[in-house]
Chain A
Amino acid sequence: MAASIAEQRARACRTLLTQVHATTAKEGITPSALHAIKLKLVALAAKTDLFPPGDFAMPLAQGRTHPLLVEDDDGHGLYLTINLPGKEAAPHDHGIWCVNAAISGRERHVFYRRTDDGTRPGSATVAKVGEVMVEPGNGMAMADHDIHSTEVVGQAPAIGLALYGYALTRFPSVAWFHPEFSAMRASPSRRQLAT
Chain B
Amino acid sequence: MARTAKTYQVNITNLGQVITCAANETILHAAIVAGIDYPYACASGNCGSCISQLEAGRVTMLPRGDAAISPAQVKARQTLACRARPQGDVAITWLGRGRR
Q: Hey, which bits of chain A sit against chain B, CB under 8 A?
A: 59-65, 84-90, 92, 174, 176, 178, 181, 183, 185-187
Q: Contact check, B66 vs A185: say whether CB atoms are below 8 A apart.
A: no
Q: Which of B62, B68, B69 contacts A86 (CB 8 A)?
A: B62
Q: Which of A88, A174, A183 contacts B63 (CB 8 A)?
A: A88
B2 lies within 8 A of chain A by Cβ: no
Assess A174 versus B47: contact at CB under 8 Å? Given A185-B40, A186-B41.
yes
Q: Contact check, A86 vs B63: say whether CB atoms are below 8 A apart.
A: yes
Residue of B nearest to A152 (CB): B63
What chain B residues lie within 8 Å of A61 (beta carbons)? 45, 63-66, 68-69
Q: Contact check, B42 vs A89: say whether CB atoms are below 8 A apart.
A: yes
What chain A residues lie within 8 Å of B45 (beta carbons)? 61-63, 87-88
- Could you list some 11 contacts between A and B, CB below 8 A? A59-B65, A63-B63, A63-B65, A85-B63, A87-B64, A89-B44, A90-B42, A90-B44, A174-B47, A185-B42, A185-B49
Q: Which of B32, B64, B71 contacts A63 (CB 8 A)?
A: B64
Smallest CB separation, B63 vs chain A (Å): 4
Q: Contact check, A88 vs B44: say whether CB atoms are below 8 A apart.
A: yes
What chain B residues lie within 8 Å of A65 (beta carbons)? 67
Q: Contact check, A187 vs B42: say whether CB atoms are below 8 A apart.
A: yes
Q: How far is the CA of A187 from the CA of B32 in the complex (A)?
A: 17
Residue of B nearest to A92 (CB): B42
